[in-house]
């Protein structure tokens, strides 16, 4: 790794789309149907070099959007999955302490400590984590910071520092500056409010469950061979399930899974019996299934 004191950060390091319409076309080619709001926000995040904060309930396609952008542009996807207890070592970098200990034990007895110190705090012993990996890449990169609301507040401070300048200072090695700005997507299920400081640095996109017509288009594009009438019936039923007071509303991916399930079973109609037999594909809690059986008048 080359450590530099200051770096000239490429202002437009990610240039995958020529226009919002190009976003729609590019994402559609790999199976992600983006509406005008999604396409415009993705294009502007790229054009302005700003992180894209995508917020909304679980299962509406936030993570899939980042994956789709990477696939459509040929960029490498680097993912930082956030969770409670995530720290700087797991998000940014750490040194391989076991390997360092072995190197210390193997060092010649007459070698001074400073020489040993310099040897063990070198590139050879560095373990890069997602944030550092994204900064160091020279090719097109999509950095997905997934479910940021699950991480502790302290992690937001780290994100602010990294995303403001796209550089990292490693005391033993110097400052590493990005030569090509990654396209950054931060997702949140809104389990807790993210800081205003982080939001100010991002473009914001709120995703919710799509309108029935668009979800029907998604099903038809993702499940070859399904009849349009069955897709429409399935989407309408999923919409009804989402309106119930359930612990986990069906995601778009689960709608697609349900469509594939019906095809696998050779069913061409989503009647009461078919719903009862396959309800576990879309509702993953016993209490949710019980509520659906009761509310929809199914045979338990």
Return the minimum-mean-pLDDT range out of 42-46, 124-128, 209-213, 250-254: 124-128
Say whether pLDDT at 281 is over 70. Answer: yes
pLDDT 10s digits, 171-220 = 888 888 888 889 999 999 988 999 999 999 999 999 999 999 999 999 99
Summarize the confidence of residues 34-55 as an average pLDDT: 95
Q: How far is CA 52 from the centre of its chain?
A: 11
Where does the pLDDT of residue 110 fall: very low under 50, low under 70, confident under 90, or very high at 90 and above? low
| Residue 268 neighbours by CB under 8 Å, 6+ apart | 227, 230, 262
**The most confident of 96-100, 151-155, 259-263, 272-276, by mean pLDDT:** 259-263
Structure tokens at 62: 């936030």
Percent of the chain with pLDDT over 90: 67
Where does the pLDDT of residue 7 fall: very low under 50, low under 70, confident under 90, or very high at 90 and above? very low
- C-alpha to C-alpha distance for 186 and 236, rounded to whole angstroms: 31
Task: Return the CA Rg of the chain.
Answer: 24
Residue 119: the pLDDT is 74
pLDDT 10s digits, 224-280 = 999 999 999 999 999 999 999 899 999 999 999 999 999 999 998 999 999 999 999
pLDDT 10s digits, 16-41 = 899 999 999 999 999 899 999 999 99
Residue 195: the pLDDT is 92
Structure tokens at 29: 């080619």
In sequence order, what are the beta bridge partners of 175?
169
* Per-residue burial over 229-238, b = 16 or more CB atoms within 10 Å of its CB, e = otherwise: ebbbbbbebb
- C-alpha to C-alpha distance for 91 and 150, rounded to whole angstroms: 14
Residue 13: the pLDDT is 59
Say whether pLDDT at 116 is over 80. Answer: no
pLDDT 10s digits, 61-84 = 999 999 999 999 999 999 999 999
Say whether pLDDT at 9 is over 60. Answer: no
Where does the pLDDT of residue 299 fall: very low under 50, low under 70, confident under 90, or very high at 90 and above? low
Residue 218: the pLDDT is 93
Question: What is the reported pTM?
Answer: 0.84
- C-alpha to C-alpha distance for 152 and 84, rounded to whole angstroms: 6
- C-alpha to C-alpha distance for 149 and 2, rounded to whole angstroms: 33
| Contact assessment for residue 202 and residue 214, using Cβ atoms and an 8 Å cutoff | no
Residue 151: the pLDDT is 93
The 3-class SS string of the chain reads CCCCCCCCCCCCCCCCCCCHHHHHHHHHHCCCCCCHHHHHHHHHHHHHCCCEEEECCCCCCHHHHHHHHHHHHCCEEEEEECCCCCCHHHHCEEECHHHHHHHHHHCCCCCCHHHHHHHHCCHHHEEECHHHHHHHCCCCEEEEEECHHHCCHHHHHHHHHHHHHCEEEECCCEEEECCCCCEEEEEECCCCCCCHHHHHCCEEEECCCCCHHHHHHHHHHHCCCCCHHHHHHHHHHHHHHHHCCCCCCCCHHHHHHHHHHHHHCCCCCCCHHHHHHHHHHCCCCHHHHHHHHHHHCCCC
Residue 300: the pLDDT is 54
């Amino acid at each position: 790794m080359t450590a530099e004191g200051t770096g000239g950060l490429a202002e437009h390091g990610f240039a995958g789309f020529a226009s919002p319409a190009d976003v729609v076309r590019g994402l559609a080619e790999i199976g992600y149907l983006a509406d005008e709001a999604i396409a415009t926000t993705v294009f502007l995040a790229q054009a302005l070099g700003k992180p894209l904060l995508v917020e909304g309930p679980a299962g509406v396609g936030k993570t899939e959007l980042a994956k789709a952008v990477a696939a459509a542009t040929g960029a490498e996807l680097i993912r930082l999955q956030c969770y409670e207890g995530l720290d700087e070592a797991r998000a940014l970098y750490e040194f391989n302490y076991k390997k360092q200990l072995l190197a210390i034990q193997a060092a010649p007895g007459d070698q001074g400590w400073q020489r040993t110190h310099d040897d063990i705090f070198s590139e050879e012993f560095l373990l890069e984590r997602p944030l550092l990996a994204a900064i160091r890449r020279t090719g097109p990169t999509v950095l997905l910071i997934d479910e940021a609301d699950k991480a502790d507040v302290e992690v937001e401070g780290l994100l602010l520092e990294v995303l403001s300048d796209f550089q990292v200072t490693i005391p033993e090695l110097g400052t590493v500056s990005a030569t090509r700005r990654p396209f950054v997507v931060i997702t949140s299920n809104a389990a807790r409010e993210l800081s205003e400081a982080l939001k100010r640095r991002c473009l914001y996109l709120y995703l919710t469950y799509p309108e029935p017509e668009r979800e029907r288009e998604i099903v038809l594009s993702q499940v070859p061979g399904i009849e349009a009438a069955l897709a429409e019936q399935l989407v309408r039923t999923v919409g009804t399930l989402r309106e119930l007071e359930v612990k986990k509303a069906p995601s778009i991916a689960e709608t697609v899974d349900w469509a594939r399930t019906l095809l696998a079973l050779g069913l061409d109609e989503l009647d009461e019996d078919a719903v009862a037999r396959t309800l576990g594909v879309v509702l993953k809690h016993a209490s949710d299934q019980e509520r659906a059986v009761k509310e929809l008048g199914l045979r338990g």
